[in-house]
Amino acid sequence: MSAAPSRGGPLLTIAGGLLVAGAGASGWANLDATRTIGGVNVPAVIEVNGTEFAGLVLPLGLAAVILAALGLAIRGVMRRATGAVCVSLGLAAIIAVLRGLDRVNDGAGIITAAPWLALLGAGMVIAGGLVALRNPRAPAVLDERYTVEGAEVGDLEWELAADERESSPDHPR
């Protein structure tokens, strides 16, 4: 197992968060309506954005993206903490999308693919957060394959490795 934390979790969370935010801002429903133009009733389709039905989806997706980007820059306990927060953001996004779908059904509109993509993105945020939670706590301890017996560095080795120009009085220090 590698001692370096995986970048897969934060990258998956960033992709999922962008999907949640993008789908949250997209049209979630097409509502049938009638417009009057010049005294004539004309059927029209009105597209309603996801922010009308589930206003929290867009900020939850953006928060997941920001936390995952932060998770790429940090390690250890703080990275696992950002993973735990991302899991909770993904769960909150699922709840917000499901409540938004209930509101779409109340309006008798035709549901588009956007809320389903938001659910997929929320699942990706949860999966990425779980991967970040699973990262190793400390670097792996190297076994005896990586140690050389009796290889102590002494003064002779340092003298051999020293650059002769550095020991000259004309060398700038």
pLDDT tens for 61-96 read: 999 999 999 988 887 888 888 999 999 999 999 999
Going from the C-alpha of 4 to that of each of 83, 116, 133, 138, 146, the distances in angstroms are 16, 34, 14, 9, 17
For residues 109 and 50, the answer to whether their CB atoms sit within 8 Å is: no
Domain coordinates in residue numbering, the chain = 8-139
Q: What is residue 160's predicted lDDT score, i.e. its pLDDT?
A: 60
Three-class DSSP category at 74: coil
Is the pTM value of this prediction over 0.75?
no
Cβ neighbours of residue 41 closer than 8 Å, sequence gap 6 or more: 34, 35
Q: Find the range with the poorest average confidence among 62-71, 95-104, 160-169.
A: 160-169
Mean pLDDT of the chain: 81
Q: What is residue 122's predicted lDDT score, i.e. its pLDDT?
A: 95
